[in-house]
Structure 1
Amino acid sequence: MALDTAIAKADPLPPGDDEPRRPSLKRFGGSRLGGLILALNLLSLLILFVGALALNEWRRGLIEARQETLIAQAELLANVLADKEYTVGEPNPQFNVEKAPLLLRDNFIPAGQRARLFDLDGLLVADSYAVTEIIPGQALPPARPAGTPPIQVEPGLASRNEAAVERARSALAAEVEAALDGEAQAGLRRSESGDRVVSVSIPVRHVQQVLGVLTLEAGDVDETLAAQRRALMPFALVALFVNLLGSLLMHLFVARPVMRLSAAADEVRLQRARAISLPDLEGRRDEIGDLARSLETMTETLSDRMDAIERFAADVSHEIKNPLTSIRSALETLPLVRTEAQREKLTALLQQDVRRLDRLITDISNASRLDAELARDRPRTIDLTTLLTEIVGVYEAGRKPGEPRIAFEPPAGDHILVLGRDGPLGQVFRNLIDNARSFSPPGGLVRATLLLDATDPDRPAHVRIDDDGPGIPPENLETVFQRFYTSRPKGTAFGANSGLGLSIARQIVEAHGGAIRAENRTDEQGAVVGARFEVALPPAGLGRRG
C-alpha cells in the first residue's frame, strides 16, 4: 500500500542493536558525553589551579629574593654606620647626625628604594629622600583651560588619607621598635603614600650595643604584582579557550543534534513523514546515537503498525463485503421465490452467511484486541509441558465420535520452561490444533510433540503439531499465515474458517520472540502424508520436576 508521505529509510541497524544497551564500564556513569563534559571542565579548572600555584610560588620567590637583597644592602650600610667615623660619644656612642645622612647621600640608593635611619629612641635621624635630589611622588596633570570648574574632591577623602598615613606610620614604628630589640625584621606593609613596599629593618650595632635601626624599603611591589597578573593572563586565556571550546562542543554534539531530533519528531507529529531517519546521528556511538536509533526504531515500528492497521482495515472491509453481498442478493431474491424448497434453500444460505459474518466479526475482534492484551499481560515463566497437557486433555474430554484424536508426546523427563503469557500461547496451540483437526480425516490423529532442539540455541523449545491431511501446496507454505487466507478441504462447511487463526498465531509467537513455520511431512517415497506446524520459543530455563 503506497504511503501518502515518504519515509526516509536509514541503513539497517547492526545485529543486536535493537536490544537495550547497557552502560559501558569505560564510560563515566554510563555516559560518553558526561565524561567529555567533566573532562573539559576539570581541564579548565586544572589550568587555572596550576597557573595560580605556579604564579603564587613565583610571587613568593620574588618577594623573598627582594627581601634578601635589601637585607644584604642594609647589613652592608649598617656595618659602615657602626664605624667610629659616623658615631660620637664614649662610652655610649650615638649616630653623628651630620655625617650619617651624608653616607645615605654618598652611597647609591637605587630608584624606587628608600633608606631611613632611626636612633635608639626610634626618632628619625636620616632619610634618603631628604638628603638626595630624588623627589618622590607623581607628575602633575596638565593645566586646564581658564574657567574650568574646580575638581570636586570626594567628601571625607582627606580624612581617609590622613588615617591611611597614620596607619602606615604606626606599622613602620612597630617594625622599628621590634628591630631595636636586636632582631632583623622583614615583611610587606603599606607606605605613607599607600603603596605596598618590601621593608627590612636591621639593627645597627657598635660591638654589641644597638645604636639604632636602618630601614630599607623597595616600592616596586605593585609593579611585581602587576607583572604577576600579566603572567596569569595566558593561563586565564587558555582556560577561557577551553571553556569556550567545551561550550562549542556541547552545542555541536549535544544541543544541535537534540534540536534536529526534535525537529524530526515534529515532522512525524505533523504527518509530513512517517519515520525519523538521521543516518549521521545514528552512526554515533554515544547517547545521542542511541537516542537517534531508538527514535528511528520506534517511529519505524509505529509506521509498520499503521501500515498493518491500514492493510487489516482493507482486508476486513473486503472480507465483510463478501457475506454482506451474498446476504443482500439472497434478500433481494427471496420475494421472487415461488416454491417452498427454494425459499428454504435461500434461508439456509442466509443463515450460513450470517454464521460466516459472525465468525469473521468474532475473529476480527479477537485480532484487534491482541496487541492490547499482550501489552497488559506481564510475561511470566510457563511450563509448556503442563500447558500442552491441559489443552490436549480438554480436547480429548470434549471429543465427539468421528472427530480426530489428539495425542501429546511430552519431552523425556525435563519440563520445558519459557517466559511468556499462558493465555496467548494457549491460543496459539489451540489455533494450530483446530487447523490440524479441520484438515484431518474422520477418526484421524493429530500429534502434538514438545521437544528440545539443540541445533537451535536461541529458540530450543519446539512444539510440533502434525496432522494426516492432504498437506499444504508448496507455494502456500508462507501464504497460510496471511490474514483471511483459507484453503478449505472438501466437505468443510463454507465460512467455518475465517483465515485469521494462523495469522494470529504468528503474531503471538513473534511477540514472544519466537518463530513459526509450516512444512509438509513426507514418507519414504517422498509422498505428502500430512502437514506440520512448528513453533520455536526461547527458554526461560530448564527445570526437572520431581
Structure 2
Amino acid sequence: MASATDIARADRQETDEGLRPRLRLLGSRLGALILILNLLSLLILFGGALALNEWRRGLVEARQESLLSQAELLANVLGELGITEGEPRPALDVLEVADWLRDTFIPAGQRASVHDADGLFVADSFQVSDQIPGRPLPPVGSGAMRRLEAARAPGEDPQVERARAALAQEVEAALDGEPQVVVRRSETGERVISVSIPIRHVRQVLGVLTLEAADVDAILAAQRAALMPFALVALAVSLLSSLLLHIFVVRPIMRLSAAADQVRMQRARAISFPDLEGRRDEIGDLARSLETMTTTLSERMDAIERFAADVSHEIKNPLTSIRSALETLELVRTPEQRERLTALLQQDVRRLDRLITDISNASRLDAELARDRLRVVDLGALLGEVVGVYRDSPRPGTVPVTFRSSVGGAARLTGRDGPLGQVFRNLIDNALSFSPGSGTVRVALARDVDGWRITVDDDGPGIPHENLETVFERFYTSRPKGTAFGGNSGLGLSIVRQIVLAHGGRVWAENRGSDAGEVEGARFTVVLPTDGTAT
C-alpha cells in the first residue's frame, strides 16, 4: 500500500490544484497587480492631460467668442459715432474715436485699438488722453508691410517688429471685410487673443477695431498648475508600483537565487521559505516548486545512498560464500564433498547473476519510465499475453497460471505497456516462487470504483502479518521452509510498487484465508486509474 508520506503529498497537491483556479481569477494575481498599477498611473496622467486639453480648448474658444461679441458691439457704435462731418466720403473722426475710447469702459486685461481705412493707427485704449499724442501720420501706402515700415522707429526691437507685422497682417485682412480671430504674440512677448472687426458705415469700411485679451498665458499657467496634481499622483503610483515590484518580486527572487546558490556551493540537501510558500501567486508557486524539487532531489540522493549500501551488502553475501567455497575447495579430498562445493558455487553464481540483473533493471527503471512514451493500453490484452507466455512455455517444476476477466469490453488506460508488463511478470514470478507443486497462480481483472483492479493469487504459505508492507522494500525476502535459498533478490516487488505509483495507482499485499481462519495463500492487488494519470 502507499505510504503515509505519499498520501499526504498527494492530498497537498490536490488541495493546491483545487485552490489555484479560485486564486487565479485574472490568470495571474501578480501579473494582474502589476498591470493594474501601471495602467492606473498612465490612465491618471493621460486622463488628466486630455481633460485639461479639452478644457483649455473650450476656454480659449469661449474667450474668442466673448471678444468677438464685444468687438462687434464696439465696431457698430464706432460706425455710427466716429464719422467726420462734411466730408464727401465718410471717414473716421480721430478725435471723436479717441474721446469715445477714453469714455468707454474696457475691461482689465483687454486692449482696444483702432486703425483707419488705410490701416494706419488712429487710437489705442492704453494711450487715450485729451490730446492724442504722436508724430505726423506717414503717407498712405499700399500694403501692410509698407504701413508697418512707415510706423517703425529706427533701431526698434525685432520682437516688436514681428508683433507689429502680425498686427498689420491681421488689420489688412480685416479691412477686406472679414472679422479676424487669432492668437498671436504682443509687442511684450505675451500670448494674446486678438479679434479685429471692420468698422462699417452702411457698407463702407471706415477702419478696423482690434480688441486684445492678454490673459492666455495666465490660462495656460493655470492649466499647468492644475495638471501638476495629476502628474504627482501618477508619479506616486509609479513609485508605489516599483516599490511593490521590488518587495514582492525582486527581493523574493533574489532570496530564491541565493538559496539555490547556497545549495550548489554548500552542497545543501534542501531549502525552505515558509514566508514565501504561503503566498498564492507565482512567487509562492516558485518557492514551493523549489522546495519540492530540492526535497525530491534529497530523497533521491538518500535513496541512491541506501540503494548503494543495500547493493553492496547483498553482493557481499554471495561473494563471501564463493570465496569461502574456493578456499575450502583445496582442502576437499572426496569427490562427494567436491560436488557439494561445486553445487554451492553454482548456486551462489546464479544468485549473484540474478542480483546483478535485478539491480540493473531497478537502476534503469527511472530512465525507462521517463523515456517510454505514454499510449493507450488494453489491460485485458496485456494480461492475456503475459499469462499466455507462462501457459504456453511452462518452466519445469512450475505450477499453472490462469487468467480470468470480468470486464465485458476493453480495459483501457493511458500508460506504458512495457513497465506494466514487468509489473505483472514480477507478481506472477513471485507467486510461482512461493506456490506448492499442487497449487495454481490465478490472475484476475475486474472493474472497481477506483479503476481497474488486477489480483494475483497463489496457494503458498502466505505473508506474515507484520511483513505485508515491508515486502515492497528493496532486498527484502521472506523465505519459508522448503523454498530454495537465493531464488529471490528482493527487488521484484519494489520495482512493482515504483511502476504502479508512477502510473497513479496503488498496490498492496494481503493473505487469503478460509472460514476457519487458516491462511490459504497470498494475494497481491493492483489498482490502476481509468483516466490515465501516469507521470
Question: Does the TM-score normalized on the shorter chain lie above 0.5?
Answer: yes
Residue 14 of structure 1 is matched in structure 2 by 12
The yes-or-no answer on 1:520 pairing with 2:511 is yes
Distance 1:71 1:488 in 2: 115
The yes-or-no answer on 1:244 pairing with 2:239 is yes
Residue 64 of structure 2 is matched in structure 1 by 67
Q: Which deviates more from structure 2 when the two are superposed, residues 517-526 or residues 209-218?
A: 209-218
Aligned pair partner of 1:465 in 456, 459, 463? 456
Residue 489 of structure 1 is matched in structure 2 by 480
The Cα of 1:127 is off from its aligned counterpart by 2.5
CA contact (8 A) 2:511 2:521 kept: yes
How many residues are matched?
502
Aligned pair partner of 1:501 in 471, 492, 495? 492
What is the letter of the counterpart of residue 253 of structure 2? V
**SS across alignment from 1:521:** strand
Residue 79 of structure 2 is matched in structure 1 by 82
Distance 2:359 2:61 in 1: 94
Q: Which deviates more from structure 2 when the two are superposed, residues 11-20 or residues 486-495?
A: 11-20
Q: Which deviates more from structure 2 when the two are superposed, residues 279-288 or residues 366-375?
A: 279-288
Residue 358 of structure 2 is matched in structure 1 by 363
Distance 1:255 1:80 in 2: 74
Distance 2:84 2:44 in 1: 57
**SS across alignment from 1:179:** helix
**SS across alignment from 1:284:** coil
Structure 2 counterparts to residues 133-148 of structure 1, below 5 A: none
Residue 390 of structure 2 is matched in structure 1 by 395
The yes-or-no answer on 1:104 pairing with 2:95 is no
Q: Which deviates more from structure 2 when the two are superposed, residues 425-434 or residues 104-113?
A: 104-113
The Cα of 1:125 is off from its aligned counterpart by 0.9
Residue 169 of structure 1 is matched in structure 2 by 164
**SS across alignment from 1:16:** helix
TM-score, reference length from structure 1: 0.85
CA deviation map 1:278-300 (0-9, x unaligned): 22222222222222222222222
Q: 1:480 to 1:540 in 2, by over 3 A?
A: same
Q: 1:12 to 1:443 in 2, by over 3 A?
A: closer
The Cα of 1:111 is off from its aligned counterpart by 5.0
CA contact (8 A) 1:202 1:214 kept: yes
CA contact (8 A) 2:455 2:524 kept: yes
**SS across alignment from 2:251:** helix
Aligned pair partner of 1:261 in 247, 256, 260? 256
The Cα of 1:168 is off from its aligned counterpart by 3.2
Residue 453 of structure 1 is matched in structure 2 by 448
Distance 2:303 2:16 in 1: 20
**SS across alignment from 1:210:** strand
Residue 292 of structure 2 is matched in structure 1 by 297
Structure 2 counterparts to residues 34-433 of structure 1, below 5 A: 34-84=31-81, 87-131=84-128, 162=158, 165-400=160-395, 402-433=397-428
The Cα of 1:382 is off from its aligned counterpart by 0.8
CA contact (8 A) 1:122 1:212 kept: yes
What is the letter of the counterpart of residue 525 of structure 1? A
**Higher helix proportion:** 2
**SS across alignment from 1:94:** coil
Q: 1:342 to 1:168 in 2, by over 3 A?
A: same
Percent of aligned positions that are identical: 72
**SS across alignment from 1:121:** coil
CA contact (8 A) 2:82 2:94 kept: no
Distance 2:9 2:232 in 1: 44
| Structure 2 residues without counterparts, runs of 5 or longer | 1-7, 131-153
CA contact (8 A) 1:319 1:484 kept: yes
Q: 1:222 to 1:412 in 2, by over 3 A?
A: closer
| Structure 1 residues without counterparts, runs of 5 or longer | 1-9, 134-157, 542-546
What is the letter of the counterpart of residue 14 of structure 1? R
Q: 1:18 to 1:196 in 2, by over 3 A?
A: closer
The Cα of 1:186 is off from its aligned counterpart by 2.1
Distance 2:102 2:258 in 1: 82
Distance 1:101 1:310 in 2: 112
Distance 1:336 1:11 in 2: 59
Distance 2:220 2:11 in 1: 61
**SS across alignment from 2:94:** coil
**SS across alignment from 1:494:** coil
CA contact (8 A) 1:23 1:31 kept: no
CA contact (8 A) 1:27 1:35 kept: no
Residue 137 of structure 1 is matched in structure 2 by none
Cα RMSD after superposing both structures:
2.8
CA contact (8 A) 1:483 1:500 kept: yes
